[in-house]
Amino acid sequence: MDKKRRDFLKIAGISTLAGLGGPAVVDRLVNGTSPVGANAAREYDPDAQGETHKAGAGEHGEAAEGAKTRKRWGIVIDLRKFREDPELAEKAIKVCNYNHNVPHFTNKRHEVKWIWLTEFENAFPEHSQYHKDTKTLETEVLVLCNHCDSPPCVRACPTKATFKSPDGIVGMDYHRCIGCRFCMAACPYGSRSFNWRDPRAGLDMKKINRKFPTRMRGVVEKCNMCVERVGIGLQPACVEVCSESKAMIFGDLNDPNSEIRQVLKNNFTIQRKPSMGTHPSVFYIV
């Protein structure tokens, strides 16, 4: 951590304790712009938080009539397709890691994860049943940030380094992150990773994606729903790599005519930990 960030950490800590932490302090001390482009540099708008809920959302957190003019990006993950072709998950993980220069460390304590496989029981602890069928029990589930419509990580962040965009993507501004890890404590899904080490040490620097920034030690990172691709009309990389199988569907949850809405309409889907009230934008067909 460089001196500027160390000083900021001290001051921001004092400010938080005193209830004085805020954008003015952050803007004065951290003159950083978002490394993932204009989208991530957007100011976090507290009025936009959980907007669809305020407007009267349905059980999946879908927008009520009045809020439908705004996009809300979401993903449906069809676990049946991943069972049929186990290589799909590896492809999705690999393409995400490459696109975003996600470091690889063998020591689990230093692991950084944007998208990964976990056991069904871990992914859906609330969807337990007495003696689950073997097929469900053996299903490994692809998990990532849920880009929650009511994200506790955003509320916990004292510097607005993590924020929710008007299109529903929960983003990160690494330059504003002071490494306090409040967001990690607040996220009920373990979707965030802390860079305990310099992430560049976990990358082959000759083979990195030069179009995406590497991060630094002491900051948090996570899936950004490929904001850098979505912003120019592309699908997220993990969705694109699975496109032939349609194992992942991306689209606007607020558009009743979108493919994702049709998939949600025609299939029974579940979300992770619904009791937390976060209203994830990632849905699963089991």
Binding site for ligand SF4 (CB under 6 A): 96, 100, 114-115, 144-148, 151-153, 156-157, 159, 161-162, 170, 177-183, 187, 189, 191-192, 220, 222-226, 236-238, 278
Least Å distance between CB 137 and ligand SF4?
24
- Residue 114 beta carbon to ligand SF4: minimum distance, rounded to whole angstroms: 5
Q: Pull the structure tokens for residue 277.
A: 């009230």
DSSP secondary structure string, 82-118?
HHH-THHHHHHHHHHHHHTT----SSGGG---SEEEE
What would the two tokens of residue 286 be? 């089991």
Which residue carries 């991306």 as its tokens? 250
Q: Which is nearer to ligand SF4, 218 or 264 (CB)?
A: 218
Pick 11 or 156: Cβ nearer ligand SF4: 156
Which residue's CB is nearer to ligand SF4, number 116 or number 120? 116
Return d(Cα 131, Cα 149) in angstroms, integer. 33
Of the two residues 226 and 264, which places its CB atom closer to ligand SF4 in the complex? 226
The DSSP code sequence of 266-286 is HS-EE-S-GGG----SEEEE-
For the bound state, the minimum distance from the C-beta of residue 220 to ligand SF4, rounded and expressed in Å, comes to 4
User: Alpha-carbon distance 129 to 83, whole Å?
Assistant: 20
| CB closer to ligand SF4 out of 43 and 133 | 43
- DSSP classification of residue 138: T
CB of 281 to ligand SF4, least distance (A): 8
Here the tokens at position 117 are: 């496989």
Q: Kindly state the smallest distance separating residue 46's Cβ from ligand SF4, in Å.
A: 15
